[in-house]
């Protein structure tokens, strides 16, 4: 925000407390100072550190999967040990620390490769949903009038359908593939981001600094992109962090329902759960291990998102 919008600091005489408070409030709206304060508060939040560590561990596992996994993704090195009534479990075979699955694949390797697939689906789908929602929210929040009404009616229709049901319907229409899962999960998130950004922009449009910018003769486009949007994007970023947890769970749910495509032995946490349900009686770890990975990953994103929401909450900014 331009410094010319700020009221001048008192140069002498008695200090006007109201002017000082006004300057502090307006300075807090500067994106640079705002984000410095957010990061400072995040560093002091144990939940933020816990979430960041969990997310960082799984991201590193996903990135370095080709070097961390003992066996290639599609390898079935333990097929000879599998019988209709027996699947070696964790610790039974030294070369397979977490046991084998029904196809003879190393469970540890599949969990590592599954982190790569599951996180990629979750991140890409969230980026897709955020981008689509940001475009709709920006149009509605900038132009208002009939554009706002048209966009919000579409958003209301999408919100009337449960997100998972909408994702299942889209994935079923697009076909069985990872790309269709990404598009389906992302499309189900678009109305959430659109509504949130629109509401945030409408709130910012009535702020004093926007009125000051209009008084200076700035155009609507410049005010929106330079002032309103930077100060409105915070809640959307928080929602994006929280939505990552939901995206990982939804992606696993779609794969569990058989909409993820690929070969049966493909390493992906939801797919591992699909083929584990037939062996729950003799190999329950095949369901527990990928389920724990999904839950812990979602927990990490949730902790990080909640900590970010708290750090950006103006009601607790002074604490």
pLDDT beyond 50 at 19: no
pLDDT of 262 over the 70 cut:
no
Residues β-bridged to residue 100: 106
* 256 has a pLDDT exceeding 90: no
Question: pTM of the prediction?
Answer: 0.79
3-state helix, strand, coil in the chain (%, to 5): 75, 0, 25
Task: Give the mean pLDDT of 128-135.
Answer: 92
Strand partners, 83: 86
Cβ neighbour number for residue 94 with a 10 Å cutoff: 6
pLDDT at 5 over 60: no
C-alpha span between 252 and 305 (Å, rounded): 20
Which one is predicted more confidently, 118 or 26?
118
Mean pLDDT of 163-190: 88
Confidence at residue 61, expressed as pLDDT on a 0 to 100 scale = 95
Q: What's the count of helices (H) and strands (E) in the chain, helices before strands?
A: 13, 0
The single residue listed with the structure tokens 């750090």 is 311
pLDDT tens profile 203-223: 877 777 777 777 777 776 777
Average pLDDT over residues 128-155: 89
**Looking at domain 46-83+103-316, what is its CATH homologous superfamily?**
MetI-like (1.10.3720.10)
**pLDDT for residue 60:** 95
Q: In Å, how far are 106, 114, 183, 294 from 111, measured between CA atoms?
A: 9, 5, 24, 10
Query: Using 50, 70 and 90 to split pLDDT, how confident is the model at 24?
Result: very low
Task: Report the C-alpha gap between 192 and 156 in whole angstroms.
Answer: 10
Segments making up each domain of the chain, as ranges: 46-83+103-316
Q: How much of the chain, in percent, has pLDDT values that exceed 70? A: 85
């Amino acid at each position: 925000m331009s410094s010319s919008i700020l009221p001048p600091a008192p140069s002498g005489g008695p200090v006007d407390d109201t002017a000082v408070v006004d300057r502090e409030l307006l300075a807090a709206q500067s994106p640079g100072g705002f984000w410095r304060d957010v990061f400072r508060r995040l560093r002091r939040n144990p939940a933020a550190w816990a979430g960041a560590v969990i997310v960082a561990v799984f991201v590193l596992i996903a990135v370095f999967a080709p070097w961390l996994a003992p066996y290639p993704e599609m390898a079935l090195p333990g097929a000879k040990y599998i019988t209709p009534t027996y699947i070696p479990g964790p610790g039974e075979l030294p070369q397979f620390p977490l046991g084998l699955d029904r196809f003879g694949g190393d469970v540890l390797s599949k969990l590592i490769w599954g982190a790569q697939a599951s996180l990629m689906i979750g991140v890409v789908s969230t980026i897709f949903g955020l981008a689509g929602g940001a475009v709709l929210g920006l149009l509605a929040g900038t132009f208002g009038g009939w554009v706002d009404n048209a966009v919000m009616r579409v958003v209301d229709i999408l919100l009337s359908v449960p997100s998972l049901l909408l994702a299942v319907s889209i994935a079923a229409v697009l076909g069985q593939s990872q790309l269709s899962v990404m598009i389906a999960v992302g499309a189900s998130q678009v109305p959430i981001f659109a509504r949130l950004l629109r509401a945030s922009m409408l709130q910012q449009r009535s702020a004093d600094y926007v009125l000051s910018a209009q008084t200076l003769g700035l155009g609507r486009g410049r005010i929106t992109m330079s002032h309103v949007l930077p100060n409105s994007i915070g809640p959307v970023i928080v929602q994006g962090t929280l939505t990552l947890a939901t995206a990982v769970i939804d992606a696993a749910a779609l794969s569990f329902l058989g909409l993820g495509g690929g070969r049966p032995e493909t390493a992906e946490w939801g797919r591992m759960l699909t083929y584990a349900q037939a062996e729950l009686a003799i190999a329950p770890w095949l369901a527990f291990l990928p389920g724990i990975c999904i839950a812990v990953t979602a927990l990490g994103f949730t902790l990080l998102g909640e900590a970010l929401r708290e750090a950006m909450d103006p009601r607790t900014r002074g604490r």
